[in-house]
Amino acid sequence: MSSFEIESLLHENRRFAPPAGFGEGAWIKSLEHYRELCARAEADPEGFWADLARSELHWFTPWQQVLDWQEPTARWFVGGKLNLAYNCLDRHLQTRGDKVAVLWEGEPGEVRALTYRELHAEVCRFANALKALGVGKGDVVAIYMPLVPEAAVAMLGCARIGAPHTVVFGGFSGDALRDRLIDAQARVVVTADGGWRKGAIVPLKPRVDEAVAQAPGVAHVICLKRVGQEVAMEPGRDHWWHELVASRSAECPAEAMDSEDLLFILYTSGTTGKPKGVVHTTGGYNLYTHITSKWIFDLHDEDVYWCTADVGWITGHSYVVYGPLSNGATTFMFEGAPNQPDPGRFWQLIEKHRIGIFYTAPTAIRTFIKWGDDWPARYDLSSLRLLGTVGEPINPEAWMWYHRVIGQERCPIVDTWWQTETGGIMITPLPGATITKPGSATMPFPGIVADVVDREGNSCPPNQGGYLVIRRPWPSMLRTVYRDPERYRQNYWSQVPHAYFAGDGARRDEEGYFWVMGRVDDVINVSGHRLGTMEIESALVSHPAVAEAAVVGRPDEIKGEAIVAFVTVESEVETTPQLLEELRAHVVKEIGALARPEEIRYAEALPKTRSGKIMRRLLRSLASGSDLTGDTSTLEDRSVLEKLREG
């Protein structure tokens, strides 16, 4: 494991107590309160989760067993029956029927507000439309949409009838969509004619057409008219959303789902190329996203809450849609880019919609810093009372800017560590209780047993870097990798004995605060999104001119990491600058714009070990322009390195 930033972080001594009075109105009132909850969970973990599951959720049928744990397989609330959409909608109708559930603004500026009653009706109509297409319990539905209310309607509609969804980020290419459709064996794709991004139309439907042509399992495509773009509609296969739902009933019974029924599959990058289908199930996921939303974002009925994530990421699943709605909150969604029409857009939205809770990513914060303090200064941000970040370690200086300029030194910041696989937030401050330190995600959520260990699983002494693990199963942990249980076991439960291996490096300080240092494997975190180097390499190599490719991350002020690729070309190919541009475009076509290499360099050969493994460590140093230190003795051919340095 490399040493990451241990040195610089060690000098971070600033501390911020919860603002005076915050704890009084908060769900978790004080450090003592937090400690009590932890002690209760420690003494009786199953009782702790069972009490919450009883008091916070509606169940059609109670469970017989809280947890059935046969490492690495967990089953939570065994035998219990519930429905996530019911918990997000129906149970609020009595008390919150006229409260806004989803508040939305499109990039061009139109606003929509759906009350709980209206959202319930929309979801039922859509669920009935799915049923009319023959979709039932267990049939996988892919959702490839812009960030519009219908994306949430589609997710909830699937959950209502027990059809697992797999949401594919609308920024991904047709090829990436195709691979996911095939792996997930999707029967239906829900999409739109397009979405708005930076003033331009994102052509979603044409990419669906490309993808579906190669994914024969897809029988139906449902297309929402969002931008009014002309699109091809294949008779029999393609249906307009508005036509399909028009005649449907606004009542659709919520299917009583088994607690362990598949809720959704969400693909995330792995180290070995093929994206992993992370599997989440119903009961544990509902409980954990509900209770973390409530306690960490301190949701109260009068709050307007905004998490800036797209529903294509786990953050969008857990903290745009399911967690907030399960709590009966008002969740705000914004379709567009933060600088459309100008870099003040987010702050204007906060002022206009009186946003109280704002949750975004360090990469966005660094971009805002670059755009300058003048933009937020033009708007009234006094509605804000709580800020959050997620996606990667936040540099202390970015944390301080967020605290000072956006939070106006009044709002607690929750730096939340978690993963697609964990389903919900694992290490985090509780805003009325925790003393925060800039750059630290602080301490585990009650009931979460996190540790920093060596390979053998021994806890590391304070301030020594090691592997971040979770020692006990928690309700929203991934259940498996879709159709690949061996990969699940291998990736998460075999690296360190009897612990969930997160794949992150971390240290814990003398007060027990966690400082996450980044991935220990070959995954690049670009703007808070994990991209597998292998996937990008495969994309490069799929171009006829490329013989071999190696991709590494280079620290980047804005994006966290930027992608640098080294390629060797086929013998007769000319190494022109035009080809480099072509290769960058090729990666975008294969994977999506997020994976566009910042830089591609030609290499005569790649540095490899004798066993043929590319020595990424050396390439990383080269890419970031730092000195080549450390061991190069395993290098097969030392002249390769010299040439790379010159090139």
Our CB check for ligand WT7 shows the closer of 259 and 442 to be 442
Consult the annotation and say whether 527 binds a ligand.
yes
Binding segment for ligand WT7 (CB under 6 A), chosen from 123-131, 195-203, 388-396, 447-455, is 388-396
* Secondary structure class of 359 (helix, strand, coil): strand
User: Does 441 engage in binding with ligand WT7 (CB under 6 A)?
Assistant: yes
Give the contacts of 229 (CB within 8 A, at least 6 positions apart).
193, 194, 201, 203, 205
Among 23, 106, 157, 391, contact with ligand WT7 (rule: CB under 6 A): 391
- Matching residue, tokens 């960490």: 296
User: Does 316 engage in binding with ligand WT7 (CB under 6 A)?
Assistant: no
Distance CA 6, CA 17 (A): 24
User: Does 476 engage in binding with ligand WT7 (CB under 6 A)?
Assistant: no
Question: CB–CB of 386/356 below 8 Å?
Answer: yes
User: Does 552 engage in binding with ligand WT7 (CB under 6 A)?
Assistant: no
Consult the annotation and say whether 70 binds a ligand.
no
Our CB check for ligand WT7 shows the closer of 129 and 441 to be 441
Among 530, 543, 584, 620, contact with ligand WT7 (rule: CB under 6 A): 530
Consult the annotation and say whether 418 binds a ligand.
yes
Among 128, 191, 268, 436, contact with ligand WT7 (rule: CB under 6 A): 268
- Matching residue, tokens 């994309």: 539
* Lookup: tokens for 292: 């973390």
Consult the annotation and say whether 200 binds a ligand.
yes
Torsion of CA 230, 232, 235, 238, to 10 degrees: -80
User: Does 164 engage in binding with ligand WT7 (CB under 6 A)?
Assistant: no
Distance CA 212, CA 144 (A): 12
Our CB check for ligand WT7 shows the closer of 259 and 318 to be 318
Among 4, 285, 332, 418, contact with ligand WT7 (rule: CB under 6 A): 418
Distance CA 114, CA 222 (A): 21
Distance CA 269, CA 281 (A): 20
User: Does 392 engage in binding with ligand WT7 (CB under 6 A)?
Assistant: yes
User: Does 416 engage in binding with ligand WT7 (CB under 6 A)?
Assistant: yes
Among 419, 442, 476, 527, contact with ligand WT7 (rule: CB under 6 A): 419
Shortest distance (Å) from residue 396 CB to ligand WT7? 12
Check whether the bond before 393 is cis (ω within 30° of 0): no
* Secondary structure class of 372 (helix, strand, coil): coil
Give the contacts of 447 (CB within 8 A, at least 6 positions apart).
37, 38, 41, 45, 48, 49, 474
Name the residue number minimizing CB distance to ligand WT7: 420
Consult the annotation and say whether 504 binds a ligand.
yes
Distance CA 644, CA 647 (A): 5
* Secondary structure class of 332 (helix, strand, coil): strand
Our CB check for ligand WT7 shows the closer of 275 and 528 to be 528
Window 483-502: residues binding ligand WT7 (CB under 6 A): 502
Report H helices in 317-401. Answer: 323-326, 345-353, 362-371, 374-377, 396-401
Question: CB–CB of 412/419 below 8 Å?
Answer: no
Binding segment for ligand WT7 (CB under 6 A), chosen from 56-64, 96-104, 411-419, 611-619, is 411-419
Of residues 470, 468, 564, 559, the one with CA closest to residue 522: 564
Binding segment for ligand WT7 (CB under 6 A), chosen from 121-129, 204-212, 248-256, 516-524, is 516-524
User: Does 415 engage in binding with ligand WT7 (CB under 6 A)?
Assistant: yes
Consult the annotation and say whether 392 binds a ligand.
yes
CA angle 190, 108, 385 (to 5 degrees): 90
Distance CA 40, CA 521 (A): 35
500: enclosing H helix or E strand? strand 500-508
Our CB check for ligand WT7 shows the closer of 493 and 602 to be 493
Q: Tell me how many residues contact ligand WT7 (CB under 6 A).
A: 23
Shortest distance (Å) from residue 455 CB to ligand WT7? 18
* Per-residue binding letters, 215-254, with ligand WT7 (x by CB under 6 A): ----------------------------------------
Question: CB–CB of 157/84 below 8 Å?
Answer: no
Our CB check for ligand WT7 shows the closer of 299 and 470 to be 470
Distance CA 432, CA 295 (A): 9
Consult the annotation and say whether 367 binds a ligand.
no
Consult the annotation and say whether 621 binds a ligand.
no
Our CB check for ligand WT7 shows the closer of 173 and 268 to be 268
Distance CA 203, CA 193 (A): 7
User: Does 386 engage in binding with ligand WT7 (CB under 6 A)?
Assistant: no
Phi, psi of 224 (to 5 degrees): -85, 135
Of residues 219, 273, 337, 282, the one with CA closest to residue 521: 273
Consult the annotation and say whether 415 binds a ligand.
yes
Q: Which residues are annotated as a binding site?
A: 197-200, 315, 339, 391-393, 415-420, 504, 519, 527, 530, 541, 543, 546
Which residues are documented as binding site for Mg(2+)? 541, 543, 546
Question: Which amino acids are annotated as binding site for ATP, given as ranges?
Answer: 391-393, 415-420, 504, 519, 530
Which residue ranges make up the site for ligand WT7 (CB under 6 A)?
268, 314-315, 390-393, 415-420, 441, 502-504, 516, 518-519, 528-530
Q: Which residues contribute to the annotated binding site for CoA? A: 197-200, 315, 339, 527
